A and B are shown apart, each in its own frame.
Chain A
Amino acid sequence: MSGLARSRKRASCWRATRDARLIAGGQTLVPMLAMRLARPAKLIDILRLPELAGIREEAGAVVVGATTRQAQAERHPVIRASVPMLARVLPWVGHPPTRNRGTVGGSIANADPSAEIPLVAVTLSADILLATTDGPTSMPTDDFFIGPMLTTIGQGECVSAIRFPVWPHRRIGVGFFEISARRSDFAFVAAAAQVALGDDGSCLDVALGVGGVGDRPLRLDVSSLIGTELDPASVTDAVKAVSSDLDAMSDLHASAAYRRRVASVLCIRALEQARIEAAAKSAGGAR
């Protein structure tokens, strides 16, 4: 393996060859190289390309550069304020040292079905921004994640940023639960929820997603909860309606039946936790 690209231009010529792989944080790729499971002739180091860095606010969205370290995002005031679900799950991603190098874009591009960052992107209906040989493009997560560790990234393309929608409401709460053998292990099942409450406590908006269940993170449609007070009965009914026939996988860690059952429980808990957090925000004041 030889070669380290540092400029975007050089990187783009190298991207064109079949035998080159991009490396950013390297927390997933380097173990594969160490075990000789991946054998590119060249690695293109994109970690310090300025075009892929930075967190910026747009109207109604926060755009997170692909090479933003997970630890940076965890600490960033804009993320905490405007994409609280991302801030909530990041402590569960790997370990502190892996978050110091691992990138948000890297986790997205890796597309592990049980990974937390893709789950947030799917749950919030984020857009994935790509740099391609034909120029920049963007696509919704539903078009991007197509299977386990599978995305529609083509030859010569890379994730350049993720655009997370920002909810305009004042009283927003998030909930997140994950089951794994140990903290920071891959999740058997994870559920993420975000709710917005009106001043009267009724639900103005809701987003719910599960990871680790199917071959990619899934957004569940519980829009029937809008207008309710997210009382236990309504929440349970809504969750059961969408989770009873989830496409779930069986592996040596957990059976499909277990995953479905636990997903349903975690969704209910995540929604409840989100509701409590939103309710604690003062009505009628600044966010």
Chain B
Amino acid sequence: MKVDLRINGAIRSADIEPRKTLLDALRENFLLNGTHAGCEHGVCGACTVLVDGEPVRSCLMFAVQADGYEITTIEGLAPAPGELSVIQDAFCETHGLQCGYCTPGMILAAHALLQHTVTPTREDIVEAISGNICRCTGYGQIVEAVEFAADRLRKANTPRPHHDGPHHAHAEGVPAAAADKPVVEAK
């Protein structure tokens, strides 16, 4: 099935089997290997891409469903070849990675968060990356990277196109976020 996808700002076309996931199409048809296959059933987040600016699991979308959206992969974040975005640079600064496999997904989740939320709390960051599993770092330096990036973006007065109101529940301080802590009782 012929499909035109808008990926990282460019229209890319291919003839793709309907049963092929967006993840496999990005990697095989469009040679964008930065999006990774981990669990392939929507649990680990290594396949994260942005669809209209929001993180989704590309292993749970079919390529033929992805027309009409603005798709952003990790390759679309660098401002120029060899240059790093503020968030990418922050991950380097705090060494928020080891093997690098979860990293593109983490960075895209962080990017989406910081488009909505100028001053994320630690809880906001943890919630934003809660759908991405890391087997190497223990997450501490990843959270630091996002805090560091948030700080730098604030100081640079970076415009945030999606920060226009109640997009992020936690930033709003809505009771939904405040009240419920997980309750764990011994059996």
Which residues of A approach B to under 8 Å, CB–CB? 1-4, 23, 26-27, 30-31, 33-35, 43, 45, 47-48, 71, 74-75, 77, 80, 87-88, 90-92, 94-98, 100-101, 176-180, 182-184, 254, 258, 262, 265-266, 269, 273, 277
Complex Cα–Cα for A4 and B166 (A): 34
Beyond A30-B21, A97-B55, A177-B183, 17 extra complex contacts between A and B, CB < 8 Å: A2-B1, A2-B19, A26-B61, A30-B42, A34-B40, A34-B59, A35-B41, A80-B166, A87-B174, A91-B180, A94-B131, A100-B54, A178-B183, A179-B183, A182-B182, A183-B130, A269-B183
Q: Which residues of A contact B19 (CB under 8 A)?
A: 1-2, 33
Q: List 19 A-B contacts (CB under 8 A).
A: A26-B65, A30-B59, A30-B61, A30-B62, A31-B42, A35-B41, A48-B68, A80-B174, A88-B175, A88-B180, A91-B177, A96-B127, A96-B130, A100-B54, A178-B183, A179-B183, A184-B130, A258-B187, A265-B185
Complex Cα–Cα for A176 and B129 (A): 23
The answer to whether A100 touches B180, judged by C-beta atoms less than 8 angstroms apart, is no
Residue B138 is within 8 A (CB to CB) of chain A in the complex = no
Complex Cα–Cα for A277 and B180 (A): 12
The answer to whether B180 touches A176, judged by C-beta atoms less than 8 angstroms apart, is yes
Residue B26 is within 8 A (CB to CB) of chain A in the complex = no
Complex Cα–Cα for A45 and B67 (A): 12
Known: A74-B169, A75-B169. A254 touches B42 (CB 8 A): no
Q: Which residues of B contact A277 (CB under 8 A)?
A: 175, 179
Q: Which residues of B contact A74 (CB under 8 A)?
A: 169
Number of contacts between A and B (CB, 8 Å)?
115
Q: Which residues of A contact B62 (CB under 8 A)?
A: 26, 30, 43
Complex Cα–Cα for A3 and B183 (A): 45
Known: A45-B65, A75-B166, A91-B177. A97 touches B183 (CB 8 A): no
Cβ-closest chain A residue relative to B127 = A96
Residue B48 is within 8 A (CB to CB) of chain A in the complex = yes
Q: Which residues of A contact B176 (CB under 8 A)?
A: 87-88, 90-91
Which residues of B approach A to under 8 Å, CB–CB? 1, 18-19, 21, 40-42, 45, 48, 51, 54-57, 59-62, 64-65, 68, 109, 127-128, 130-131, 166-167, 169, 174-177, 179-180, 182-185, 187
Complex Cα–Cα for A184 and B121 (A): 20
The answer to whether B131 touches A98, judged by C-beta atoms less than 8 angstroms apart, is yes
Q: Which residues of B contact A77 (CB under 8 A)?
A: 166
Complex Cα–Cα for A90 and B174 (A): 13
Q: Which residues of A contact B61 (CB under 8 A)?
A: 26, 30, 101
Complex Cα–Cα for A147 and B177 (A): 31
Known: A30-B61, A45-B65, A91-B177. A98 touches B18 (CB 8 A): no
The answer to whether B183 touches A100, judged by C-beta atoms less than 8 angstroms apart, is no
Q: Which residues of A contact B166 (CB under 8 A)?
A: 75, 77, 80
Q: Which residues of A contact B18 (CB under 8 A)?
A: 1-4, 43
The answer to whether B41 touches A101, judged by C-beta atoms less than 8 angstroms apart, is no
Closest chain B CB from A189 CB (angstroms): 10
Contact with B182, one of A33, A75, A178 (Cβ below 8 angstroms):
A178
Closest chain A CB from B111 CB (angstroms): 13
Q: Which residues of B contact A182 (CB under 8 A)?
A: 182
The answer to whether B55 touches A96, judged by C-beta atoms less than 8 angstroms apart, is yes
